[in-house]
Chain A
């Protein structure tokens, strides 16, 4: 089955700097890649996603890039703010019903 690896597991940045989280996947049939943000004690919330026919997608300060050849995708957060502090999960979906999640990145934005 699909295997999703996520790095780094923890990340600290100064407010205003950029943060980058990277994920790799193993199954070339994966065609959908969502990113979730989970604040402490709350449910994961979808923040951005990308489909396999797109290389990059941007939504205000958040962007995701996908390299199908290398089988990796990344989350980029620019001009980080303290409220960006949370755990971020990447996921990959192969054609089918299962989502395969990365192990999470705990992002801390230091004021």
Chain B
């Protein structure tokens, strides 16, 4: 069965510091991978998605970037964090097939101070 991991689970970072969040998927090949951000009490904002190694689509212009160095690895980065980057970051995977769902990882709670 498929499993999705995210780390770290929680992170407290000062403004202006760099960020690296990692997501890995087990038990599947060539998944679609997604990064979402959820502000406190808010909905899901799609940040990036990837259909393959090195292929990244950005949905919202911001100071974040994403990379997919391996088939089942998706990384979210920032060179300088802003206060507004605080939130719950969720990675998700899907098969890419039509009419198939996506599954979320456990999330990383980021607090920028």
Contacts and interface: CB of A to CB of B under 8 A. Distances in A.
Nearest to B88: A41
Given A43-B90, A43-B106, A43-B107, A98 B46 contact: yes
**B: contact size bracket:** 20 to 34
Contacts, number: 49
B96 interface: yes
Interface residues of A, number: 23
A99 B102 contact: yes
Interface string B64-102: 000000000000000000000000001000101011111
B43 interface: yes
Contact of A101 (B43, B101, B109): B43
Given A31-B99, A43-B105, A97-B94, 8 more contacts: A31-B98, A43-B106, A44-B104, A46-B103, A89-B44, A97-B51, A99-B94, A104-B42
